[in-house]
Amino acid sequence: MPVTAVTGSASGIGAAVCAALRAAGHRIIGIDRANAEVIADLSSHAGRQAAIASVLEQSGGVLDGLICCAGVGVTAPSCGIILAVNYFGVSELLDGLADALAKGEQPAALVIGSVASTYASADQPMVAAMLAGDEGQALELANALGQPQAAYAGSKYAVTCNARQKAVAWAKLGIRLNVVAPGAVETPLHQASLEDARFGQATRQFVAPLGRAGHPEEIATLVAFLQSPQAGFIHGSVVFVDGGMDAMARPTRF
């Protein structure tokens, strides 16, 4: 039975991913702030290291899958927390669990990015600091900028780069690694943006060509496929599941 660790397992897309993978026969080690096999706060270095240690203990040091889904949106308490969870809460877990994945059976890892990643770039100092692994500097820059949408887009762009930059090294370890980039999906995170006085209107206007938001199960189905042996040649890819949003915004870039 494949053993897969899933961050953000208690809600939204992460919970749907757990259900889809359980249905596909996986044993799940869920990681979240509550209601999970591993209770941890991924916004701090100490919390991430505790999560890694607990996953290694519960898996016996061998993992077949890892899904980094935990994330916070633009309504998070600060811009720094957006980077701490969405970027460092992913990069540190990928690094900390790589050895366990390398010992797994046809191992695969996956990061939940976002279509918002396409609104950021590597020349932003905040993004450069994330990619350099300088958490103190990155959080300071994000908090000074004070723009949650830029922090969110930057965190998702940087985490996508981080995953893609691992493609060569992780292939040598035998681990596949992909990114799924959702558009708007009906979850508590999305609902909080809709209800927020600052971001509600922009969130409502962010409508995909298909005319609706996605359901968590529509993301989870793809994740389960990408984690399966049937996806054995898919590695280093960024797959948009966004009702056509990226095609509408950037028809000539892909």
Burial of 94-113, coded b for 16+ CB within 10 Å and e otherwise, reads: bebbbebbeebeebbbbbbb
Closest contact distance (angstroms) between CB of 233 and ligand NAI is: 25
Which residue of 67, 69, 98, 158 would you call a contact of ligand NAI, by CB under 6 A?
69
Among 3-11, 55-63, 98-106, 139-147, which window interacts with ligand NAI (CB under 6 A)? 3-11
Among 40-48, 52-60, 101-109, 136-144, which window interacts with ligand NAI (CB under 6 A)? 40-48
Closest contact distance (angstroms) between CB of 104 and ligand NAI is: 23
- Other CB atoms within 10 Å distance of the CB of residue 9: 26
Q: Which residue(s) pair with 29 in the sheet?
A: 5
Residue whose CB is less far from ligand NAI, 64 or 246: 246
Residue whose CB is less far from ligand NAI, 168 or 248: 248
Catalytic residue among 87, 119, 152, 157: 152
Tokens found for residue 174: 């035998």
DSSP track, 144-155: HH--HHHHHHHH
Which residue of 85, 120, 126, 245 would you call a contact of ligand NAI, by CB under 6 A?
85
Catalytic: 119? no
Which residue of 114, 118, 149, 227 would you call a contact of ligand NAI, by CB under 6 A?
114
Taking each continuous run of H as one helix and of E as one strand, the counts in the chain are 12, 7
Q: How many residues form the binding site for ligand NAI (CB under 6 A)?
A: 25
Report the chain's terminal Cα–Cα distance, integer Å. Answer: 36
Residues 182/242, Cβ–Cβ less than 8 Å: yes
Place of tokens 């691992």: 166
154 binds ligand NAI (CB under 6 A): no
182 binds ligand NAI (CB under 6 A): yes
C-alpha angle 121-124-129 in degrees, rounded to nearest 5? 110
Residues 18/227, Cβ–Cβ less than 8 Å: no
Residue whose CB is less far from ligand NAI, 108 or 180: 180
Q: Among all residues, which ones are annotated catalytic?
A: 152
Q: Footprint of ligand NAI on this chain (CB under 6 A)?
A: 8, 10-14, 32-33, 41-43, 69-72, 85, 112, 114, 182, 184-185, 187-190
